[in-house]
Structure 1
Amino acid sequence: MIFLRRAAVVVIALLLLVSGIILFLGRTSPLDTHFTIEVVPIIIPNDAVAVERGRYLANGVAVCVVCHGGDFGGREMVDHPIYGFIHTPNLTTGVGGVGRYYSDEDWVRAIRHGVNPQGRGIAFMPTDHYWHLSDADLGAIIAYLKQLPPFDNDKAGTRLNIFTRALINSGAKGNLVRASFIPHQGPRPATSNNQAAYLLQIGGCDFCHGADLRGGQGPEPGAPPAPSLANDGPLADWVVEDFVRVMRTGQTPDGRVIVPAYMPWVGYMHMSDADLVLIWDYLRQLPPTS
């Protein structure tokens, strides 16, 4: 009798689990949401100064290079039996590259809105940070991407396993289709007059360190808590040289090396000394944690 009761409990629990998974998978997934975007055209320059500005932003601040590779030809981000397979798109005009067919409107839609030409949200694209790019800086990035040397790589694709799709649908790891957070047809956000605040915003520092930069948790499986960047947190005893060294090499004053998969210093290392000092001075002025 006891065995039958226990068996019944196990069966009911399994049914509830399966039902829950079906419900999560049956919901309108953020991965399947269709976005209708009226793209506001911007000027795409072609002068050397603008292209250099785009190179600097794409490599050192917006760190597109971290996900799309040093040649921007796309790279494998995940290949895991539980999570699935993610290979970022090739951004060049080479074989398999979106640069072969993207119009200026497509580039704006993808970067500013996080939506592909078919109207689907681009998973894992930090577009809620790029939403704050000024028209001039967005145009410069697009100008840079359009003149990249062609690189052949047609492996781009995303195949998420049932476990990952259930997590995304449930919101357990947050909505990884960042286009869902943007008021696409609303007014453009005002560009900050503070250059350091602007760089922190488009650099996506708040994604892990929290909206107030006082600590948070990155979405990657196994990611350690991101520390507070305020001057009363773990960085309290740092000096500007320590900060610049961390951003250049990933090595902290106490000898630890930050894992670039969790903190992409391999991209931020390309920032200029002047901008890193600006950011450091801004962080020193943050109000202490209450």
Structure 2
Amino acid sequence: MWKLLRLAALIAMTMQTATGWAQDSALMVRGKYLMKSVVACGNCHVARSSKGEPLFSKGLSGGMLFEDPAFKAYAPNITPDTKTGIGTWTDAQLGKAIRDGIRPDGSVIGPPMPIYFYRNLSDSDLAAIIAYLKAQPAVQNVVEKSTYHMPLPTSYGPPVGHVSTPASTDTLLYGEYLSNIGHCMDCHTPRNNKGMLVLAKLGAGGQAIQGPGGEVITPNLTPAPSGLKSWSDKEIDHAIRTGISKDGSHLQPVMAFDWYKNISNPDMAAIIAYLRALKPEPFGGK
């Protein structure tokens, strides 16, 4: 009887371990997918050459410069290096930084980090992203400190509580979720003279953004005549994945084409359905 009890306990422990491995594996698969597609953290955080070309061998060790009249910001090192990256941060601290915009030392993360949209990240997708980040090679890379010529908020709102991932079967809601965590509207929504997003004109474009190739004026993503009204789903899909517009012109690489090309077909269909459901607005909301 004692041997049988020991065997039963061993089997139970093995099953629990296998379940844990399966859960960890599922987190890594989801985290890898999100990071290499719609969330596209690497578009800002991957190390770059002096010409702005991605240096994928150096991973997410940061250094990319974002210049604006209101700030001079450098993308930080988000590899698990203990001296120059996030190697000493706990999962909870990483989650608070990503969704609430608060570092472990209590300081507020400034733009261009799209905290307003990352607040929509579900608990499970946040955990998946954190698992992926912690599994990356640690790369030592000292990044300059960002400077701001404007007051940063004391917070981006109350601490984010529980957030669930919308069902993928609810196409519009899931498409909105993907657009939020992909922070599409952070660039494609007009800003007022204080730099704040004009959410009443969501998706109308018109922002001036300094990209690797110079200043970029973001296009209108609403289903207005100056936006996507005349575009087919296939043309929108092709532009997002390749950076080639319906007229054959090349969009600027501030757009994360190297990552968006990996978005799954169902997820891309949901994003396009959401864009088509936006309120039609004139370009720049004017």
TM-score, structure 2 normalization: 0.70
Structure 1 position 120, deviation (Å):
0.6
Deviation per residue, 1:205-260 (Å, 9 max, x gap): 12122235441343635431431332544322221221121111100011211112
Note if 1:259 corresponds to 2:238.
no
Task: Could you tell me which runs of 5 or more consecutive residues in structure 2 were left unpaired when the two chains were aligned.
Answer: 1-21, 47-55, 168-172, 190-198
Q: How does 1:205-224 map onto structure 2 within 5 Å?
A: 205-210=184-189, 211=199, 213-218=202-207, 220-221=209-210, 222-224=215-217
Percent identity of equivalent pairs:
30
Aligned to 2:34: 57
Contact 1:68 1:88 in 2 (8 A): yes
CA distance in 2, matches of 1:231, 1:79: 31
**Which ranges in structure 1 are unaligned for 5 or more consecutive residues?**
1-44, 170-176
Would the alpha carbon gap of residues 189 and 182 (structure 1) be closer, same or farther in structure 2, given more than 3 Å must change? Answer: farther
Question: In the aligned structure 1, how far is the partner of 2:258 from the partner of 2:120?
Answer: 22
1:1-290 to 2 correspondences below 5 Å: 47-69=24-46, 70=56, 71-78=59-66, 86-94=73-81, 96-124=83-111, 125-153=113-141, 155-160=142-147, 165-166=148-149, 168-169=150-151, 177=152, 180-184=155-159, 192-193=166-167, 194-210=173-189, 211=199, 213-218=202-207, 220-221=209-210, 222-230=215-223, 232-261=225-254, 263-289=255-281
Match of 1:223, SS state, is strand
Count of residues in Structure 1 that have an aligned counterpart in Structure 2? 231
In structure 2, relative to structure 1, the CA distance for the partners of 1:231 and 1:278 (3 Å cut) is: farther
CA distance in 2, matches of 1:207, 1:85: 18
Q: How high is the TM-score relative to the length of structure 1?
A: 0.69
CA RMSD of aligned residues (A): 3.0
Return the offset for 1:116: 0.8
Q: Is the 8 A contact 1:131 1:182 kept in 2?
A: no
Q: Aligned letter for 1:279?
A: I
Aligned-residue offset at 1:198? 0.5
